[in-house]
Amino acid sequence: MKVAFIARSSLFTVKGGDTIQIQQTASHLKEFNVQADIRLTHEKINYDDYDLLHFFNLTRPADILPHIQSCNKPFAVSPILINYSEYDKQYRKGIVRLIFRFLSADKIEYVKTIGRWAKGQEKIKSQYLFRGQQNSIKKIIQKAGIFLPNSEMEYRQLVRSYALTSDYSIIPNGVDEKLFQQQGPIEKDNNMVLSVARIEGIKNQLNLIKAINDTKYQLYIIGSASINQSAYYHECRESASENVHFIDHLSQENLIPYYQKAKVHVLPSWFETCGLSTLEAIAMNCSVVITNKGFTYEYFNNHAFYCDPALPSSIRKAIDEASKARPCKKFQQKISTEYTWRNAAIKTHNAYKKTLSLS
């Protein structure tokens, strides 16, 4: 079987959780005789070379529409359904925030897409301009062979927002279980706090910094600044006290020493479908703090400390509790055996076979 993974044009220049998800899934699909070629949305693709197409990021329908209207191949969609609207309405600055407060989540995404197009960062076809965000997503849903959400909560949100009627299969996110495992009896530093994520407003590093400034904790923020949020990055740097340290994006291999030493990992985002770095941190025996916004509870249940991203005091309280807690070995084992990229590839392969049998 030959599959085209079609992902955002900035997949490798602005790396995120979807970059890891796509690369790892493609790699593990080889075990099942599936060749998955990673192609970017702006590339010209010979669809006849493939049995099936697999799109990522439903919230960027302008990337997907031109492809599905140019071919008749069956396709799957991994929605990665992130809702940016709370951050956009409440915490952006200036005239942008005032405008966004009166718009729905889909209309906000439409305006942002047009903005990226105006800056020359994206190409947009006329069908997206005329349809708009919501109707473009509904068009994709109508034509998709199968949806592959990361959780049941994400699927239910798709149903509520877009009346999703396509077939679906849950494909949980994972970790590289061979890479992310505690190496021997390395002592944790109870005051070392880690946050691995791209630096941007949705990830909420600014409120994390406010929560931890001038405390006993040493905070290590690891990640590159988002391409369109340099002002936010500089605000984070300027707001940080001496106990906050910034480290540029690291490969997964180079993250290992930090995960090994840190006692707590924090991801206080305004929205998370899962939080890949949180999964990795648990596998590395860290206690974890994560946002209460999004679909995180389905993954972590009572094995994480939850925070309200709007309140630095809530983030600080969760960190204090996590720093005193013992990680659950049973749940750590579950992460390392059930939430793996190999298991994700198995489920993805089964979904492909089902879709092709019905096409």
For 95-107, what is each residue's pLDDT tens digit?
888 899 999 999 9
Average pLDDT, the chain: 94
Q: How confident is the model at residue 91 (pLDDT cuts 50, 70, 90)?
A: confident
Say how far apart CA 266 and CA 278 lie, in whole Å. 8
Q: What are phi and psi of 103, to 5 degrees?
A: -115, 150
Which position has the higher pLDDT, 155 or 227?
155
Give 330's Cβ-side CA count (13 Å radius): 2
Specify the pTM.
Answer: 0.94
Q: Map residue 154 onto helix, strand or coil.
A: helix
The distance of Cα 38 from the centroid of its chain, to the nearest Å, equals 18
pLDDT of 359 above 80: no
Taking only the tens place, the pLDDT of each residue in 248-299 is 999 999 999 999 999 999 999 999 999 999 999 999 999 999 999 999 999 9
Contacting residues for 217 by C-beta, under 8 A, at least 6 apart: 191, 192, 193, 243, 319, 323
pLDDT of 185 above 80: no
pLDDT of 182 above 80: no
Mean pLDDT of 316-333: 93
Least confident piece of the model among 19-28, 153-162, 312-321, 327-336: 327-336
Q: Which two tokens mark 245?
A: 């340290």
Strand order in the sheet with 244-247: 244-247, 218-222, 189-196, 262-267, 287-291, 305-307
For residue 118, what pLDDT is reported? 87
Largest separation between any pair of C-alpha atoms in the chain = 59
Least confident piece of the model among 62-76, 171-185, 199-213: 171-185
Mean pLDDT of 168-197: 91
Q: How confident is the model at residue 319 (pLDDT cuts 50, 70, 90)?
A: very high
DSSP class of residue 169? -
For residue 329, what pLDDT is reported? 85
Q: Map residue 338 onto helix, strand or coil.
A: coil
Counting other chains too, the contacts that 255-259 makes at CB distance below 8 Å and 24 or more residues apart are 255/196, 255/222, 255/280, 256/179, 256/180, 256/183, 256/284, 258/194, 258/196, 258/220, 258/222, 259/180, 259/194, 259/284, 259/286
For residue 186, what pLDDT is reported? 80
Percent of the chain with pLDDT over 70: 100
Residue whose token pair is 């529409």: 65
Mean pLDDT of 165-187: 87
Mean pLDDT of 47-72: 95
For residue 126, what pLDDT is reported? 84
pLDDT of 121 above 90: no
pLDDT of 154 above 90: yes
For residue 165, what pLDDT is reported? 78
